[in-house]
């Protein structure tokens, strides 16, 4: 039987938006009886997090927040408090093991958690037993995909080459401002980090520092979307889940875009060379895009 999260995901976007105020109001009224997530998909942005979220929610022992994939609590809405966050999830009674069925786990996916400088510390403090999954994609392709995504959403007005040129200026001092004022929201830090978000190793080291390596599972985008369910099965084992349906993850939330100019691709590949080398040493494997 589909989970409630899966059923809500089949509703149209306008319908889900119309139901959000009702669901949020009910959640706040009953927040004391609600669960917190067991699983977080923390990124990377445009690396298949929506597809992984949907694949995990097809597992009979996994569900997600009501009406949304990501709540964005540990990045942009932390000042709303833990009760506000808890209000987005099912009740603990609804998740209990029954008749030999395992307890249902709760997953949330907010890709900005990986890049936000305070998210890892907040996650470790508020979810001491959570397990975190991160999907990594070729940072060149990720940057190009992110640019198309931000333009489609109205958060970017420049073409890709110009956006890359502007990035250092746009992001200058923004991480320091967030660290100095935890309530500060940086539009550019969240929406214009095309190169910065692809320097994965720094973000993973930060997660490891606060959560420990044993609670962190990193999967290569190429492995997750190789047409098999092997990488997904590995994630299920890491999460302590029984084997799921065994279906390969589908591809969701993709955006059509023109081919990246080869000169720009070569330039970006060189930009990420040192970061990718450090990532391989940390990860203990060569990323698919450098193999």
Range of the domain at 239: 4-290
Q: Which long-range contacts (CB under 8 A, 24 or more apart) does 281-284 make?
A: 282/201, 282/204, 282/205, 283/204, 283/218
pTM, to two decimals: 0.89
Run of H or E residues at 43:
strand 39-43
**In the block, which residue shows the tokens 């209000």?**
87
Buried b / exposed e along 272-283 (16+ C-beta atoms within 10 A): beebbebbeeeb
pLDDT of residue 1: 45
pLDDT of residue 142: 98
Predicted local distance difference test score (pLDDT) of residue 158: 98
Q: Return the pLDDT at 99.
A: 72
Asked if omega into 44 is within 30° of 0 (cis), the reply is: yes
Q: Which residue ranges of the chain lie beneath pLDDT 70? A: 1-29, 67
Which residue do the tokens 């997660």 mark? Answer: 207
Contact 62, 105 (CB under 8 A): yes
Give me the pLDDT at residue 5, please. Answer: 47
Total domain count for the chain?
A: 1
CATH of the domain at 279: 3.40.50.300
């Amino acid at each position: 039987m589909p989970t409630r999260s899966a059923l809500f995901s089949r509703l149209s976007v306008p319908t889900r938006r119309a139901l959000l105020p009702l669901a949020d109001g009910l959640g706040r009224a009953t927040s004391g009886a609600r669960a917190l997530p067991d699983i977080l998909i923390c990124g990377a942005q445009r690396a298949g997090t929506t597809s992984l979220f949907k694949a995990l929610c097809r597992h009979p022992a996994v569900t997600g927040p009501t009406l949304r994939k990501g709540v964005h609590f540990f990045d942009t809405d932390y000042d709303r408090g833990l009760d506000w966050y808890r209000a987005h999830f099912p009740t603990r009674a609804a998740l209990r093991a029954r008749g030999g069925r395992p307890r249902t786990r709760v997953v949330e996916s907010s890709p900005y958690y990986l890049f936000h400088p305070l998210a890892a510390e907040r996650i470790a403090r508020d979810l001491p037993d959570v397990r975190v999954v991160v999907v990594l994609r070729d940072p060149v392709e990720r940057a190009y995909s992110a640019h198309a995504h931000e333009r489609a959403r109205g958060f970017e007005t420049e073409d890709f080459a110009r956006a890359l040129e502007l990035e250092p200026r746009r992001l200058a001092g923004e991480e320091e401002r967030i660290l100095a004022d935890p309530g500060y929201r940086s539009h550019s830090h969240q929406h214009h980090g095309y190169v910065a978000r692809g320097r994965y190793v720094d973000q993973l080291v930060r997660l490891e520092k606060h959560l420990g390596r044993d609670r962190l599972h990193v999967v290569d985008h190429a492995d997750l979307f190789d047409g098999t369910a092997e990488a997904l099965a590995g994630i299920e084992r890491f999460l302590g889940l029984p084997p799921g349906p065994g279906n390969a993850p589908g591809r969701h939330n993709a955006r059509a875009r023109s081919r990246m100019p080869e000169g720009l691709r070569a330039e970006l590949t060189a930009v990420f060379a040192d970061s990718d080398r450090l990532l391989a040493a940390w990860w203990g494997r060569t990323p698919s895009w450098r193999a």
